[in-house]
Each structure stands twice: as structure tokens, then as C-alpha cells.
Amino acid sequence: MIPSPWILFPQPNPQADVRLFCFSHAGAGASIFRPWAALTASTAKSTDTDIEATEIAIEVCAVQRPGRENRLSETPYRNVTALVHQMHPQLLPYLDRPFVCFGHSVGALICFEWVRHLQQQLGPLPLALFVSSRQAPQIPVALPWTHTLSRNDLLSELRSYGGTPEAVLKSRDFMDLYLPILRADLAIHEAYAYSPAEPLPIPISAFGGLQDSKVSKASLEAWTQQTTQDFRLRLFPGGHLFIKDSAAGILQAIAQDISLAQVAQS
């Protein structure tokens, strides 16, 4: 298979049982999921008390959107529909084994729309969808929008999210490169227009940060309206970017829910 700029495999595993497609949050690239590949070996085990504990080999497959890291010279997308239509044929060759999708913040919206596109195209669907730190798609983002803020106000907003070192925020050269990418991703998130459709016939699990001031528990619970199957909500310590310190717990939950989905399909 010819390598695609859309895909990063931190640790390729041809013998994996399940491929985990990962979609990053606003401004981030695929490299944030590199540590996940090392963690799957120790966390990818079902521990649900209702089913027999089984090892699940998970291959992390991080999706690299244009405009960041090794695709820095490309223009980032500002519209999720255009992004999904361009991305879809690039990911299709990698649906040759059972797979699941995980997206954080705007990444959750992108992978949700991609799964809906797969459903419309009668393509293979993931075993489950995992969404993190993003309100359900039917809930619009309240005004004022962040992607239209002035530079100084946008930097202040970044500080409120946490996770970005102050030295980075004060680096003009870095911010000159970073802020256009961030604005494009935030435009996808904030200007998204939800189109009602049939709920997905796959389980959805939502993750959130207990101290996240941006995304409420109720708005995460509303994802249950997007599935005809099981819905689960798990909350972790931390704010909007809680995944930085909770990767092991998230992967454990993903492995558990993969096992439950496999049992439901058998």
C-alpha cells in the first residue's frame, strides 16, 4: 500500500485485531497520538465484569489533516464537509480490517461526519465511535465564536484551555504559523451546520474532563441521540485537554467497549 500523507502509523501492526483512527483537536497534528501506540500494549485489554477478559491488539492510526506538521505547506480546511469529501478516499484503503474512530474536540466532529459519510456511501462502519470533549453535533456552538477573535483575545482564550506553555504562547514566530491553523480548525467546530439524519447503528462512547468549562456533562450526554445502540459516558480528571494525562484510561475504556461491541455483533 502506498503511504498516504493523511495517515501516521506510530507503530504499524499488521497483526492487529482493530485499527484505531484518531482525529486531533484544534491546532494539533497526528503526532499527539504517538504515545498512544506504546500504551496499547499494556492497556488494550477488556476488563468488563460481564465478559471474559481478552487481549485486543489495537493499531493506532492517526489522521493528519492538511496545514500542520509534515503538511504545513498545505492550506487547512475550514469546512467539515469539504474536509471529509477530500479525506474519505484517502482513508478507504485502510478499512481492510475492523476499526473504530476516536476524535477529540473538533476531531470528534470530523470523525462523526466521516462515519455518517461512510453510512451514506454504504461503506464499512466502525465497531464503535469514541468522541471526546465535544458537545453533541445537534447542539450549536454559542456566540461569540473564537475563530473570529483578535490575535490577543485568541491567545487569552488559548490560555484558558490550558496545556500550552506560556513560552510557546509568547513566541511570535511560532504563533504566526500556528494561529491560522487553529482558526481554521475552530471555524470547522464553530460554524458547523448540523443536518438531521438517521442515528448511527453503532455504539457511541463519550469522554469528558471533570473540570472542562467548555463542554458540559449534559452536552456530552446528548450524543446518545446519535446512536441506536449503546451509549456510554466516562469523565476523567482535568479540563478540556484532559487526554494529555488520561491516555491510558481512555485506551482501557476503548478496549473494553470494543469487546462489548464485538460481543453484541456475534
3-state secondary structure 25-46: CCCCCHHHHHHHHHHHHHHCEC
Q: How far apart are CA 105 and CA 23, in angstroms?
A: 9
Mean pLDDT in residue range 66-90: 96
The answer on pLDDT for 244 being more than 70 is yes
pLDDT at residue 129 is higher than 90: yes
Of 46, 105, 133, 259, catalytic: 105
DSSP state for residue 100 in the 8-state scheme = E
Three-state DSSP class for residue 161:
helix
- Between 136 and 153, residue with greater pLDDT: 136
* Burial (Cβ within 10 Å: 0-12, 13-18, ≥19) of residue 107: buried
Please tell me whether residue 103 adopts helix, strand or coil conformation: strand
Q: Which grid coordinates belong to 173?
A: 514566530
What are the cell numbers at 43?
492497556
Q: Domains (ranges, CATH) in the chain?
A: 7-136+196-265 (3.40.50.1820)
* Banded model confidence at residue 108, pLDDT cuts 50, 70, 90: very high
Show Cβ contacts of residue 15 under 8 Å, excluding neighbours closer than 6 positions: 57
> What's this model's pTM, rounded to 2 decimal places?
0.92
- Cβ atoms of 22 and 63 within 8 Å: the answer is yes
Out of 19-33, 85-99, 171-185, least confident range: 171-185
**Which candidate, 200, 241, 232, places its Cα nearest to that of 111?**
200
CA 143, 246, 250, 11: dihedral to nearest 10 degrees?
110
pLDDT of residue 158: 78
The answer to whether residues 108 and 133 touch, using CB atoms and an 8 Å cutoff, is: yes
Q: Over 50: is that where the pLDDT of 51 sits?
A: no
Told to judge if 195 belongs to the known catalytic residues of this protein, a careful annotator would answer no
Amino acid at 250: I
Q: Tell me, what amino acid is at 101?
A: C
8 A C-beta contact, residue 93 and residue 121: no
Instruction: Look at residue 69 and tell me whether its pLDDT is greater than 70.
Output: yes
Q: Would you say residue 52 has pLDDT above 70?
A: no
Give pLDDT, residue 123.
87
Over range 153-181, report the average pLDDT.
Answer: 82
Q: What is the pLDDT of residues 109-126, one digit of tens each?
A: 999 999 999 999 988 999
Highest mean pLDDT among 127-131, 159-163, 165-169, 210-214: 127-131
Return the SS3 of 132: strand
DSSP readout, 195-258? ---PPBSS-EEEEEETT-SSS-HHHHHGGGGGBSS-EEEEEESSSTTTHHHHHHHHHHHHHHHH
Could you read off the pLDDT of 181-226 as tens digits, one per residue?
999 999 999 999 999 999 999 999 999 999 998 899 999 999 999 9
Sheet containing 18-23: order of strands: 7-8, 58-63, 18-23, 99-104, 129-132, 204-209, 231-236
